[in-house]
Each structure stands twice: as C-alpha cells, then as structure tokens.
Amino acid sequence: MEQIARTPKQIGAAIRRQRRRLGINQTRLGEKAKLRQATISALESGEPGTELRTLCDVMAALGLEFIIRPRTVSASHEIEDIF
C-alpha cells in the first residue's frame, strides 16, 4: 500500500503503521535495524534530527522503500485525511 508522506510526522506515522501491520514492537524493530528502542520512538514521533541513514535502516528492516516523484497538487486537508 502506497502512502504519501511529506513531513517528519507523516513519515513517522507511516513507519509506525507498517511496524504495527507486521506485528512487531519498537524494541524488536530496533534489534532488526541495530538501533535503540528510543531511536525508533523518536523517529515514529517525527522528532527532528533523525539521520537519513537511520531512516534508511528502519525502512529496510520494515521492507519499505522510497519513491521520489514530483509533488502532487491537492488541498492540504486531503493529504491530512490520509493520516
């Protein structure tokens, strides 16, 4: 399932949804990505300062990938409704 994420909070929410969909907790995800549970929590919360490498490691552990494309034009409330 594709998801649009444009902000750190939206990316974190997408990460959380996939983790839950897979039925794993933050600690287990941290083990798979070789990160601390607190780092997973910060990422899922959309806290600033997450390194790109950390995001890539977590996405790989969850079986996710980036797709870079031009931004779609839609009303901001439509994007927010996704989350």
Task: Tell me the per-residue pLDDT of 7-64, one tens digit each, with 9 for 90 and over.
Answer: 999 999 999 999 999 999 999 999 999 999 999 999 999 998 999 999 999 999 999 9
Residue 73: pLDDT band (50, 70, 90) is confident
Q: Flag whether the pTM goes above 0.95.
A: no
**Residue 62, pLDDT score:** 98
Q: What is the residue extent of each domain of the chain?
A: 8-82
**5 closest CA partner among 59, 42, 49, 54:** 59
**Residue 3, pLDDT score:** 85
**Residue 2, pLDDT score:** 82
Task: Please give the CATH number for the structural domain made up of 8-82.
Answer: 1.10.260.40
